[in-house]
Structure 1
């Protein structure tokens, strides 16, 4: 019995089990929402998110045998809002810089399906943010961190996150590398700083939703958007067919955001170590 328990508690094991469970739920609900219209797909996505989080909690509680403060309902609202604001500022700043450099110009789409665009964009961005953050920053990051420390966790999750987007339309080795830096490092740094998945999910959601509403392809996926975007100049500036993430601009902006987050994470760690109680054997 002891061997069985130790097997399930091994980080790679519970990471794989949890990932498979959430991926199956995500695949099932994606197929269901593709056949539905209106607000129903958004409701189904919320249900999917709840089930994915349930699988995450059960995996860590009963296999990894640890608590899950990173998805605690305490401060969930404020952390989500802070994440959304961070993601919105990141995409807005990146887009404004590209506009200033002559890479993008926007025009109101003038479509009568504004409500449809809003609901579809929110539903798509929400589903991706929940599942990808639970898997990459929730399971993979913490498994790697337990196995080899924070630096290894940040490096591995960033590389895997970039590689996961290689199959998208318009993807190149550069776009995968850019995703690894701007998304993998930024979201990993955000998790290390806040130690909260609500924050990273909010950031990830706002990132995808802002791009979609602006009409910019989201990691190679075409977006209907409230605007139409005209692209001018080199793909290194505009991201080309892959979209904003393929541009050098968000890579630089994301690193400028990641550095203070990593510094904050290091300070939090030192503060927590300093606040640890002194063992009785060392007390005088």
Structure 2
């Protein structure tokens, strides 16, 4: 009888240990860090591989990297956070991504045209014979950054902080971290980090809240970087070959200076015109969902 009691106690102790271990991995900060670490590891490995090849092969490697990063994201939330991932579901993925690409294209093209109209930019066709190479290299850089950064910031970090402190805190913290993450880039200043905080962090966060879909925010992010690169404008301080060469005239507050378009006041103002309606639509949708629940 004593042996049986002892055996039951041992089983209960094991059960408590397993429960504590499970609770540890289900804590939002833990699965956020674990998932981000896995995604960064994959991104780092494939960046090294992509740097050694060119053309279509580099694009294929980037697509493989994206697939593996998304897989890590799904596995992290499924087995550590113990929740489903409707925000990265294959359903309506194409439509959401296209809508995001259109939104990002309109935003960046519109901002560049306004700066050009104010005398800050002048564009000239680069006349390069390797147009396909420029297109592929621009797509590779933009696509890789969009997938990795959205999975980490809007996918893992946003939802972990949302679970701990709510959506407003999640939007504020992810936007802040997104701005700080760009401080080490060429031409970066305190102003450019603040500009990234507002125009990219808040806009991409609002886009995710509006659609509750990572494909949309990835599409927007991709088009943002790709359009800047194709126009020959530095992408967050990174020089771009581009299909055009851009001549910059005037104050850095208008043109963004060495940091590029994101350092300009124009997209900062424009991002608010996009973000505010998205946040309002998200709040209305949330209230509608809450009202539809049974009381």
TM-score per shorter chain, which class? over 0.9
Partner of 1:160: 177
Match 1:20 to one of 37, 40, 43: 37
Scaled by the length of structure 2, what TM-score is found?
Answer: 0.94
Partner of 2:13: none
Aligned equivalents of 1:28, 1:169: Cα separation in 2: 23
Partner of 1:123: 140
Partner of 1:143: 160
Match 1:64 to one of 69, 81, 87: 81
Q: Gaps (5+ residues) in structure 1?
A: 279-284
Q: Give 1:38 shift.
A: 1.6
1:121 alignment partner, SS class: helix
Match 2:232 to one of 211, 215, 228: 215
Aligned equivalents of 1:122, 1:30: Cα separation in 2: 14
Partner of 2:5: none
**CA deviation vs aligned residue, 1:47-83 (integer Å, no higher than 9, x gap):** 0000000000000000000000000011101100000
**CA deviation vs aligned residue, 1:65-123 (integer Å, no higher than 9, x gap):** 00000000111011000000000000011001101100000000001010000000001
Match 1:264 to one of 281, 287, 291: 281
**Structure 2 residue 196 is the aligned partner of structure 1 residue 184:** no
Aligned equivalents of 1:226, 1:155: Cα separation in 2: 36
Partner of 2:259: 242
Aligned equivalents of 1:135, 1:38: Cα separation in 2: 27
Q: Give 1:156 shift.
A: 0.2
2:55 alignment partner, SS class: coil
Q: Give 1:276 shift.
A: 1.2
**Structure 2 residue 201 is the aligned partner of structure 1 residue 196:** no
**RMSD of the alignment, in Å?**
0.5
1:49 alignment partner, SS class: helix
Scaled by the length of structure 1, what TM-score is found?
Answer: 0.97
Aligned equivalents of 1:50, 1:118: Cα separation in 2: 21
Partner of 2:9: none
2:246 alignment partner, SS class: strand
Between structure 1 and structure 2, the one with the greater Rg is: 2
Partner of 2:101: 84
Q: Give 1:277 shift.
A: 2.7
Q: Give 1:39 shift.
A: 0.8
Between the two proteins, the alignment pairs up a number of residues equal to 278
Aligned equivalents of 1:276, 1:79: Cα separation in 2: 26
Q: Give 1:275 shift.
A: 1.4
1:8 alignment partner, SS class: helix
Q: Where does 1:43-62 land on structure 2 (aligned, <5 Å)?
A: 43-62=60-79
Q: Gaps (5+ residues) in structure 2?
A: 1-17
Q: Which runs of 4+ in 1 moved over 2 A?
A: none
1:136 alignment partner, SS class: helix
Match 2:111 to one of 85, 94, 108: 94
Aligned equivalents of 2:184, 2:82: Cα separation in 1: 35
Aligned equivalents of 2:67, 2:166: Cα separation in 1: 29
